[in-house]
Amino acid sequence: MNRRTVLERTDHSGFHMVVNGRRPVGYCAHHAPHATEAEARECFGQYQRDRVREHGRARWTSCMLKGCTAPAQRMFEVEGDGYALAVLCDEHATKETAIQVMQLDGPAGDAWFS
């Protein structure tokens, strides 16, 4: 199993979002450490939101937006992340709705994945 979380640097100079306690990921990989854990989580959350893309079609489910039962055909994902997916009907098929359905509309949380 792999774990994505925020860790403080061993020299206590700041925080990065990391995978398996190793290298920084997302935008954190390209800049100095954040002053707080909350800043690191918001940085990675923004990285995920910026990478949401429409990716293909699906015909196997209804719209994933709570309360909508319309047939869904348009699929959204976080580019490079095989674990975040939103399938939406034509009426709700926007990047903003996909972000909401994938629960990416805030700071990034911890994640376990294989």
For residue 99, give the DSSP letter: H
pTM: 0.88
- Residue 52's Cβ-count burial label (10 Å; 0-12, 13-18, 19+) is buried
pLDDT tens-place string over residues 89-99 = 999 999 999 99
Residue 58 has pLDDT above 90, yes or no: no
Confidence (pLDDT) at 85:
92
- Going from N- to C-terminal start, the domains of the chain cover 2-48, 52-107
Q: Three-state DSSP class for 28? A: helix
Q: Which residue has the higher pLDDT, 109 or 68?
A: 68
For the chain, give the percent of residues with pLDDT over 70: 100
